[in-house]
Structure 1
Amino acid sequence: MPPENQLLFAALTAISVCFLVRFFLKTSILYLLRRWWKSMTDVFHAYQFYKVPQFNEHLQENQLYRKVTTYLNSLASSEDLEFANLFSGNKSNEINLVLDPHQTVADKFLGAKVFWNNEKSERDCSRVLVLKIRRSDKRRILQPYLQHIHAVYDEIEQRRKEVRLFFNAEAANSNGRWRSVPFTHPATIDTIAMESDLKNKIKSDLETFLKSKQYYHRLGRVWKRSYLLYGPSGTGKSSFAAGMAKFLSYDVYHIDLSKIQDDSDMKMLLLQTTPKSIILIEDLDRYLAEKSASGLSLSSMLNFMDGIFSCCGEERIMIFTMNCKEQTDPSILRPGRIDVHVQFTLCNFTTFKSLASSYLGLKEHKLFPQVEEMFQSGVSTLSQAEIGEIMISNRSSPSRALKSVINALQTKREIPGQDEVRQRLIKSGSGRPPPPPAAAPTTTEEEIESTSIFSREGGSHIKKLYGLLRAKSSRRGESLDLDSIEKENNLSHLQENQP
């Protein structure tokens, strides 16, 4: 090797050795300084330590140890550890992360940093979790931090539990009124064909409710919330209620009003429900219309919704479904009894695209513009269930499925009775038939009403007009029949055009 290369190699070697020595010394010094600082802070009692043993002196499991372990497993900092133990949980797809001995997990709460150490017990081979917290932060965050751990644990366990569906048996049954089966309904809020903004609003409302216990108690109100899902059959009301139960991991108590004998029977059923549950009553408008034939009175229903018996067990969601709420007694729907109103309309183009994506895997198709044009022209006579069934029957051919939907929309497009009136006008010699009546405006997206977080304007003039027509019809001793009014107008037009 030439002398100049030897000198260059020697210089590079010397530089590398110096760099490594400096890095080693710097790292070692920092490490020693950290250890010294830690020992000094411990010596001068800058930290307070709390032990959470796995078992008590009677070798019984410490429930707080289980809660803290579950809480630590849910922290993102636990996943950042260099190594950890993985164990299967109670469910087939559940995997739990368990700390190895002498590992430390850091956590932050209310701006303070705390540490959890996993150690061995000095008495036996059991484990001990040691909480390390600064003395200056102890009085400020210790109690709220432990309550936070309890709340997170309850939320995790609530999601882990098996959701069940309860239904009321006949009153004569001596084995109890409620029967239950596992609630395995596959629907979720995300799978329901409706506007994404509406879904997000309801999700946000449910999440806010779950965190509002102290707020409700401060107001002196029962910690519950009630929803009214209304709209034509087949628009997804029952499936959405199932999705809410899945979202909350709440048990569902489905009350069959036809099996309730009287008001006291309703009260007993309500007393036997549990917190963290959904109380579901479907087709409420039909039962209210038939209430005279049953022993259940309107006052009992009102007390069930917001009376003294509604507070028997908190953290509950009440869901009522009905097809039409216009004919319902306003006292049923007033604020305090129904908090959130959610309208489910017949299928529109937006929900149609959602159905096509879910049922047929279609994001776009050459027939979509034709379907959109039909919806924009006022065709909204098919429910989501009807269109979904057409797509299921033709799922092997997406094009055939879309054509079948178009044919179904065209078949239902004609208004019943319109052809008869048109033919009578032609025969009368009045010339060409009148243009088809303008289709009623369709709701292009589901609407949501609430007395507290949602608001909706509009519709007041229509309600006033409807009230005037109804009052006029009542004074004449006749019921309001919109079909009769339309036929009368058509006959008047026929007479005016006759020679």
Structure 2
Amino acid sequence: MLSLLITSIIYIFSGVSFYVILRLFLYQTSLIHLLIKWKHSVEDTIYVHQFFKVPQINNDNSTQQNQFYKKVLTYLNSTSSLEDSDFTNLFAGKKSNDIVLSLDDNQTVHDVFLGARVSWTNEKKRTLVLRIKKKDKRRILRSYLQHIHTISDEIEQRRGELNLFINHSSNRGDGDGDVRWSCVPFTHQSSFETMVMDSDVKARVKSDLESFLKSEEYYHRIGRVWKKNFLLYGPSGTGKSSFVAAMARFLSYDVYDLNLSQISNDSDLKMLLLQTKNKSLIVIEDLDLYLKSESTAVSLSGLLNFMDGILNSCSSEEKIMVFTMNSKDEIDPAILRPGRIDVQIYFPLCDFKSFKLFANNYLGVKEHKLFQQVEEVFHTANISPAEVSEIMIANRGSPSRAMKSVITALQTKKNAGADHRRLDDSVELLQSGVFGKDSLPVKELRKLYGLLKLKTLKKVGPVDYDPVLIEPAMIKR
């Protein structure tokens, strides 16, 4: 009896071992894959399928991006089944030692949702095709598409990576241009935490942006497009570009840097607007200089329509437009009216209060024996925040040397300003005939004036930097 029991146990274990060995053999060879493909082929023959296309562009007569295409692509590139598929592309990621998997042309990826098997094919025409059994369509289609939305949003949020889009045009060979956005990683490190800014003003800016993020229902209830327009104006080097970067970081919005000089007409400007997506920050820098240029291709009416026209209601929502200027004195009032510009922020040159904030952030210095001398010189000359930041970065190992360098820069600007005023007075006196008929001709004096001015500017050095920190700004509504 005992021997029979032992024999039975050995027989059972032998059968189990054989089964385990057989499974391991099949999974380690191509036989199991052939069996699975045969099984799926039989299912495909038996069941009726339906197909749904997700094109990259919304339709053949538009250049507007299909936002769902990007979400599906993000979702598929994250699935584990992509690793098991044939012809998967491998790319280096944005981080070191990071490898990214991506679909190849005509590659098919299978997915399983709520027990139903579906497949996606990446066609060469930049179209993703969903294949689903007709019997499963009513049960899972809507919830499956919502699942893709949710997962892709979670992936984008985890990445925390922003993109910078730059417009360009290409010639298709028929004389017409094709306007598109090119994308690169957005790496600017400016943030509200690193900015030299009055705490009350900074709080108002952040509160305003936070309120905007929560205002979708409100904007729709009053019949307005969910967007907001900012104007940043002030001299070069006062931190307008850095403020834009800080806004993008705070909102987690991609940045669209719109270069108007690369646009040939109003229609191209409209097409570029339609190609922008939700959660975007659209920037036009130096608008005043562009409007003064004689080679402007975009009309004033085209620009006004871009800012608040009916086209905005047809493009993506939850976006902020930012326009920068050196001065708004000579700008057409139509551009600045309420509704086109919601918030105006002025960026002045650096003063002593801001200088102390720079010294604290850059050098770790709250008090210094040279502060009094620096303050006295600030009463007689101006300097941009960009210059202050560059001087302190260059002399970060020696606070005393940094202070002396700032004093020298301010004194140089003071002397340069006095020279310019004297030269301007001389030209004005000559033009008024004070020096008489035998005096130096106006043409020669102007030539001398230009040489002296150039020499003085060389002493002062470059002033147009893009600093990480900016001067306190006053918000005007």
Q: Shorter-chain-normalised TM-score: which range?
A: 0.5 to 0.7
Q: Is the partner of 2:193 in helix, strand or coil?
A: coil
Structure 1: segments with no counterpart, 5+ residues: 1-62, 64-89, 93-122, 124-149, 429-443, 451-499
Q: Who is 1:24 aligned against?
A: none
Aligned residue in 2 for 1:403: 404
Q: CA 1:418–1:304 in structure 2 vs 1: closer, same or farther (change >3 Å)?
A: closer
Partner of 1:170: 169
Q: Name the counterpart of 2:274.
A: 271
**What is the SS of the residue equivalent to 1:169?**
strand
Pairs aligned (count): 286
In the alignment, the residues of structure 2 paired with residue 254 and residue 166 of structure 1 have an alpha-carbon distance, to the nearest angstrom, of 6
- Within a 5 Å distance, the mapping from 1:211-230 to structure 2 comes to 211-230=214-233
State yes or no: 1:232 paired with 2:232: no
- Name which of 206, 214, 217 aligns with 2:209: 206
Q: What TM-score does the superposition give when structure 1 sets the normalisation length? A: 0.53
Aligned to 2:197: 194
RMSD (Å) for aligned C-alpha atoms: 3.1
3-state secondary structure, aligned to 1:321: strand
Q: What's the CA shift string for 1:65-92, capped at 9, x where partnerless?
A: xxxxxxxxxxxxxxxxxxxxxxxxx999
Q: Any residues of structure 2 matched to 1:79-90 within 5 Å, and which? A: none
1:422 deviation in Å?
9.5
TM-score (norm 2): 0.55
- The question of whether the paired residues in 2 share the 8 Å contact of 1:193 and 1:384 is answered with no
Q: CA deviation at 1:172?
A: 2.3
Partner of 1:365: 368
Q: For 1:406, what is the secondary structure of its paired residue? A: helix
Shift, 1:200, TM fit: 1.2
Distance in 2, matches of 1:281 and 1:420, equals: 36
Aligned partner of 1:272: which letter?
Q
d(CA) in 2 for partners of 1:155, 1:190: 25
Structure number with greater CO (CA < 8 Å, separation at least 6) is: 2
User: Structure 1 pair 310/345, CA: closer, same or farther in 2 (3 Å)?
Assistant: same
Distance in structure 2 (CA, Å) of the matches to 1:157 and 1:203: 23
Aligned in 2, Cα 1:162/1:382: closer, same or farther, shift over 3 Å?
Answer: same
3-state DSSP class of the match of 1:399?
helix
Distance 1:423 1:326, change over 3 A: closer
Compared CA separation, residues 420 and 232, structure 1 to 2 (3 A): closer
> SS of 2:242's equivalent?
helix
Q: Report the 3-state secondary structure (helix = DSSP H, G, I; strand = E; otherwise coil) of the residue aligned with 2:192.
A: coil
Moved more, 358-367 or 174-183: 174-183
Q: Deviations over 1:126-159 (max 9, x none)?
A: xxxxxxxxxxxxxxxxxxxxxxxx99x9699547
Q: Deviations over 1:11-69 (max 9, x none)?
A: xxxxxxxxxxxxxxxxxxxxxxxxxxxxxxxxxxxxxxxxxxxxxxxxxxxx9xxxxxx
Conservation of the 8 A alpha-carbon contact between 1:171 and 1:259? no
Structure with max Cα Rg = 1
Q: Mind listing any 5+ residue stretches in structure 2 that lack a counterpart?
A: 1-70, 72-93, 97-114, 116-148, 428-433, 435-470
CA distance, structure 2, for counterparts of residue 422 and residue 165 of structure 1: 47
Residue aligning to 2:17 = none
Is residue 304–residue 335 contact of structure 2 (8 Å, CA) maintained in 1? yes
Asked if the contact 2:179/2:272 (under 8 Å) is kept, the reply is no
Q: Identity percentage over the alignment?
A: 58
Q: How does 1:345-424 map to 2 (within 5 A)?
A: 345-375=348-378, 377-379=379-381, 381-414=382-415, 415-416=417-418, 417-419=420-422
Distance 1:392 1:161 in 2: 28
Aligned pairs (5 A) from 1:103-252: 158=157, 160-172=159-171, 177-252=180-255
* Aligned-partner Cα distance in 2 for 1:330–1:423: 36
